[in-house]
Structure 1
């Protein structure tokens, strides 16, 4: 029996809140862990280039988004969509606490890959569910609020990790992150119970091939590829900070600052996107250009400014990307689109960070800002063309 419009709206809103809480608690877990990975690798005497190679974890995440998107899109089954979400968050619960139990970078790297695999598998299915339950809210502000909850967790998680590092050590800091992981699973179960059937999935007659994706999607993805090539990852930044003699417990706090700036900007960016569309993203390449030069000044004040700007970029990207794809891609193709976008973005982000890490390894990091400016200018040109074409 179909839900009445009012009942659907109330149920959809509650599901949206529960899924936002899932992200809050899950982010406390994996962002708390992420804030420690760089200094932890330096602590267990991994080479600098390993901090860049850890970005392969992001590649695994984005590649598995492609896999998760394909499985979800091909299944046309609500049960499969929810199963992918459960598996993704369940891996998060199991893997993160294990990271502090081993002192070998090879094992830590493998655990990072497994955790990123879970994150990638769940993302397309979760974003399809979110895009459906937020269609009457306004996707820009809805995804902005969801990102705000993400980043509230991403602020609290590193703060917990920082306190645990200050009072105990790395093992305890990773273990305590299991508590919010359990809470995320409880919230996920609540959302699933309220909304077991995803309407757009159930009414779909057949799967659709990815080649039907519109040109604007590919142009947007190309712009994101060039943006990611110059966007330094936190794995590298945190490694660099510890190598430059920053106290271990301060590095997760700096990550909290980054996530706080991400969270603060996410909802306003969502509102801006609902008003001006992809133009909301035009400032992002310019901000990315300034991050590395500020960090290389080696002044606490300018480094904090760079960290804040890093968080702002994450807020713009996470909010606008998901809302834009939901707006320009029809429902039947959406899981494929999120997956394909994730794969291409992940490959380019990994490649760009390996380049930056190698420059650091070779003691020529001072030349990295030149590389960043070039790729970000290309991204900006493509975004301007997209904004102009949409306006026409």
Structure 2
């Protein structure tokens, strides 16, 4: 009975996240051009994107800590989702780039507030149905939304709807996300009860050494994982493909991520955490295909990139769930995400600087850091 309830909860949250990703990933591909149309320079666009990500990741440790302290996980979830969702369609009303920029940053802040809390609530279901299955299913629904959203925006632009029309259309999935979240709250007001009694498996409420080893591995992978902003910039600058195909390549990566999530999650539950080593090996192979080849091989690289994103979005949470005491889940997930985000920000900055000097240097930086994470992960998996 508890396993059925756990699966039901994961599905509802997954559907909410489907609509959430539909909304903000749909907007992501047109935010840069929209800011440019309002008079923002390339430097401003880059700064706004970086600031949004940095604040979004930086807030996760804070929101996770206070969610655990106050035990008001649903309150933090609703606050984060509301900011996250309403900031996107509000862009349709922005007439100047500073207002639009503040909404872009707000969207990331909202996601940062709710992410560790939602991850913690999902983790409680892992005891009944398997952590790999929980996060794999959630990631699959996430990335399904992230695939459809950009394609819908491409259709809106193709039909000459304009950026504002696109943002306005995204109000629909935003409202559906919040409605689904209300349903989840009504049907599952106390998700921690899905893992009742699990706390006895932990001798202490402190974070174990294994957690910190995973933290290091996550930072290495994040620093070496090329951001799509740089990838898209490369595709356009190097004329790897026609400009209107760049969002399609991104959608292919999201589809690959969605399709890989459930098999990776199931393999995690059946074979153990070392499944992640294989997934991240594929991720490390993405950069040479993306930056040093033609459009056909670049497409293969984007598929590898999507698999890497899937592994980061599902397997890490599954691995962490097994080493974090239930009462520290939001705090630990938030802290991990903050470290991950800072590493991603720094790695992206380094790759951006290297790009102007040598594509080979970008590839080596990406591959070496991701490969360096694999033995660290192996050590952490051995200590579980």
Q: Give the TM-score normalised by the residue count of structure 1.
A: 0.87
CA distance in 2, matches of 1:138, 1:35: 34
Would the aligned equivalents of 1:295 and 1:303 in 2 still touch at CA under 8 Å?
A: yes
Give the whole-Å Cα distance in 1 for the aligned partners of 2:303 and 2:87. 29
Aligned to 2:158: 166
Given the superposition, is the C-alpha separation of residues 273 and 310 from structure 1 closer, same or farther in structure 2, using an over 3 Å criterion?
same
On the 8 A contact 2:125/2:194 being kept in 1, the answer is no
Contact 1:229 1:352 in 2 (8 A): yes
1:154 alignment partner in structure 2:
146
Correspondence for 1:22 among 16, 25, 41? 16
1:33-44 equivalences under 5 Å are 33-38=27-32, 40=34
Give the deviation of 1:88 after TM superposition: 1.3
1:92–1:49 distance in 2 versus 1, CA, 3 Å: closer
Corresponding residue of 1:180 = 173
CA displacement 1:175-207 (0-9 Å, x = unmatched): 211111110111111110112234459989x9x
Shift of 1:9: 4.6
In structure 2, the CA distance between the partners of 1:41 and 1:303, relative to structure 1 (3 Å rule), is farther
Match of 2:245 among 246, 250, 256: 250
Distance 2:5 2:368 in 1: 47
Tell me the CA shift for residue 113 of structure 1: 1.8
RMSD (Å) for aligned C-alpha atoms: 2.8
Report the more deviating stretch, 11-20 or 60-69. 11-20
1:386 CA drift (Å): 2.2
Choose from 241, 254, 260 the match for 2:235. 241
Counterpart of 1:357 in structure 2 is 352
Task: Give the counterpart of 2:67 among 48, 66, 72.
Answer: 72
Within-5 A mapping of 1:372-383: 372-383=366-377
State the alpha-carbon separation in 2 of the partners of residues 385 and 375 from structure 1: 16
Report Cα offsets for 1:142-175 as digits up to 9, x if no partner.
Answer: 2111111111111111110111121122222222
SS in structure 2 at match of 1:136: helix
Aligned pairs for 1:88-127 (under 5 A) are: 88-99=80-91, 102=94, 106-127=98-119
1:83-141, Cα deviation, whole Å (9 max, x unpaired): 11111111122111233555765544432221111111111211222122343111111
How far apart in 1 are the matches of 2:164 and 2:353? 29
Do structure 1's residue 216 and structure 2's residue 171 form an aligned pair?
no
- 2:137 pairs with 141, 145, 158, which one? 145
> How far apart, in 1, do the equivalents of 2:152 and 2:25 lie?
11
- Offset, 1:334: 1.1
Q: 1:177 to 1:154 in 2, by over 3 A?
A: same
Query: Aligned match of 1:260 in 255, 260, 264?
Result: 255
Match of 1:51 among 41, 46, 50: 46
Number of residues of Structure 1 aligned to a counterpart in Structure 2 = 377
Cα pair distance change 1:202/1:84, threshold 3 Å: farther
The offset of 1:323, in angstroms, is 1.1
Asked whether the equivalents of residues 82 and 178 of structure 2 are also in contact (C-alpha less than 8 Å), the reply is yes
Q: Aligned equivalents of 1:49 and 1:216: distance in 2? A: 40
Q: 1:287, CA displacement in angstroms?
A: 3.0
Q: State the distance in 1 between where 2:237 and 2:36 align.
A: 7
Q: Is contact 2:283-2:307 (8 Å) kept?
A: no
CA distance in 1, matches of 2:192, 2:224: 39
Superimposed CA distance per residue, residues 23-46 of structure 1 (whole angstroms, 9 cap, x where no aligned partner): 111110011112334555666663
* More moved, 228-237 vs 66-75: 228-237
Please point out which of 299, 306, 325 is paired with 2:294: 299
Listed as ranges, the matches of 1:303-322 within 5 Å are 303-322=298-317
Contact 1:38 1:235 in 2 (8 A): no
Name the residue aligned to 1:135: 127
> Taking structure 1 as reference, are residues 52 and 295 closer, same or farther at Cα in structure 2, changes over 3 Å only?
farther
Once the two structures are TM-superposed, the CA of residue 57 in structure 1 deviates from its matched residue by 2.3
Decide whether the 8 Å contact of 1:68 with 1:84 is kept in 2. Answer: yes
Cα distance change, pair 305–261 in 1 and its aligned pair in 2 (3 A) = same
Contact 1:226–1:376 (8 Å) recurs in 2: yes
Residue 190 of structure 2 is matched in structure 1 by 197
